[in-house]
Amino acid sequence: MAKLYFYYSAMNAGKSTVLLQSSHNYHERGMKTLLLTPLIDQRAGVGKIASRIGLTKDATPFKPEDDLFTLIHTLIHTPHTAPPLACVLIDEAQFLTRPQVEQLAKVADDLSIPVLCYGLRTDFQGNLFPGSAALLGWADNLSELKTICHCGRKATMNLRTDAAGKPIKE
């Protein structure tokens, strides 16, 4: 049975790197993946997932109003020569909506396709992102990716800074 996974962490833990490595592992075995990224995330350009270590891959951008179950269902039922879809990987999953998380759970349950979501758990004030809150409730498997703080301890919070690098607290 396929599952919905949520891999979360503080910023700069390597979530995008792990996502891209996971996709590579599937491709290396002749399996097809679908990479999704929210349209709001354009750090590397529209429809791109990029890691800080230089890995980049094209992805399908989605908007908050998009029905991800329908998108994936349509994709797997479109005639093509490629192998069947083996896995869906989503970057910046904190920007998912609650309905989209429910749609992804349906992808895992009804289409038997594993869905791996990577994102932040909370914002810089410790508040859950709506997508993360939904994933914490709906995911079959939760996994924290750990990173270290500038002080050398485990990072537990995100720090928002201005252009000069000074912390923003509000």
Verify whether residue 28 is a known catalytic residue: no
| Parallel/antiparallel/unpaired status of strands 32-38 and 160-161 | unpaired
C-alpha distance from residue 124 to each of 78, 127, 131 (Å): 41, 7, 15
- Tens digit of pLDDT for each residue in 53-106? 778 788 999 999 999 999 999 888 777 656 789 999 999 999 999 999 999 999
The Cβ of residue 14 has, within 10 Å, a number of other Cβ atoms equal to 17
Decide if pLDDT at 159 tops 70.
no
For residue 49, name the pLDDT band (cuts at 50, 70, 90): confident
Query: Of the residues 65, 92, 102, 144, which is catalytic?
Result: 92
Rounded Cα distance between 87 and 16, Å, is: 16
Tokens of 158: 């995100």
pLDDT of residue 81: 55
pLDDT of residue 1: 86
Rounded Cα distance between 116 and 49, Å, is: 14
Q: Could you give the number of structural domains in the chain?
A: 1
CATH of the domain at 97: 3.40.50.300
Beta bridge partners of 9: 120
Q: Which structural domain range is residue 113 located in?
A: 4-168
pTM (predicted TM-score): 0.88
